[in-house]
Amino acid sequence: MSITEIYPELQQFIEYLSFEKRYSKHTVTAYQNDIEQFLHFQMNQFNAPAIQTIQPTFIKSWLAFLKEQGLESKSINRKISTLKSFFKHLQKLGLLQQSPMAIIISPKAKKRLPVFVEEAKMNMLLHAEIDASNWDEKTNFLVLQLFYFTGIRLSELIQLTERQIDVANQQVKVIGKGNKERIIPIHDDFLLQLKNYLQEKHCQFGKMEAHVFVNKKNKPLQPRQVYQSIKNILGKVTTMQKKSPHVLRHTFATHLLNNGADLNAVKELLGHSSLAATQVYTHTTIEKLKDIYKKAHPKA
């Protein structure tokens, strides 16, 4: 029997996330994976207890197992959040009287400053010469720029269509988490490159309303493909361990704040639901101010 046959509540929750909450496919898959891992553990350790009989001790056993496996507190907290949403939904459906998550305490996660690429190194990448006859190389270069110029997420970039590019108003409409829309401006030079790319794409593959970026086989880019290309590009200018599209999102936010952007404006550009999520980037700004102070103040 499949996991959803043993626990039909899982399928109900997945359908709720997909059709009522309208979460992205990527987000729904993340929720599903977390809950399936949890339920498989319950099946193996506690003989597949019914959802209504799952106790807080069962959940604590799973969390202890995750910790023994070396999972970081941040990842464990995400799984706790998933389970809270799952059991809360079952309560709303009347399938549970009380959530077993009520007494579960999330472990404290280490606060990490977001890693980013220095401005000088980003300028090196943005002014690098590329082979204009190599379609994939040209695509990867534009993808790099879009990440840095807009702070867009990987999932948002993958799904970006030509219809979302507003040439007249020099902006892009991004569909973010929870299908929330936000508008991000695009500057002249990059917009011109993007227009030329789309024109060439239409000439080479035919004109159609589709994804902005495609590979040389006219197929939409895949997350793993984009991740690897960005990792390779960033590897040319930095030795930091983490080299990913999300680092460029961090870089976008950090560079804006370092150059005087308003925190609330950066929040809107990033699509954050709360200011607290954006404030993590101010730590980097403070560190820069300290460095300027030490270098400039005669008594520092």
User: Long-range contacts made by residues 56-60, C-beta under 8 angstroms, separation at least 24?
Assistant: 56/100, 56/101, 56/102, 56/103, 56/104, 58/100, 59/83, 59/100, 59/101, 59/104, 60/104
Predicted structure pTM score: 0.69
Number of domains in the chain: 2
pLDDT at 94 over 90: yes
Domain limits at 19?
Answer: 3-92
Q: Looking at the domain assignment, is residue 100 inside a domain?
A: no
Residue 138 belongs to domain with CATH number: 1.10.443.10
Count CB atoms within 10 A of the CB of residue 204: 11
In the chain, the amino acid numbered 172 is V
The 10s digit of each residue's pLDDT in 224-283 is 999 999 999 999 998 888 899 999 999 999 999 988 899 999 999 999 988 888 988 887
**Residue 161 near residue 209 (C-beta atoms within 8 A):** yes
Q: Give catalytic residues, as residue numbers.
A: 153, 177, 246, 249, 272, 281
What is the average pLDDT value for the chain, to the nearest integer?
A: 92
Flag whether pLDDT at 41 surpasses 70: yes
Residues 130 and 274 in one domain: yes
Residues 271 and 130 in one domain: yes
CATH number of residue 48's parent domain: 1.10.150
Q: d(Cα 157, Cα 176) in Å, to the nearest integer? A: 10
Kindly indicate the confidence band of residue 1, based on its pLDDT and cuts at 50, 70 and 90: confident
Residue 110 has pLDDT above 80, yes or no: no
Are both 85 and 196 inside the same structural domain?
Answer: no
- Give the C-alpha separation, 139 to 157, whole Å: 12
- Is residue 108 in a domain? no
Question: For residue 80, which phi and psi values (nearest 5 degrees)?
Answer: -65, -45
The residue among 289, 221, 282 whose CA lies nearest residue 257 is 282
Strands lying side by side in the sheet with 181-185: 165-166, 171-175, 181-185
In a domain, 88, yes or no: yes
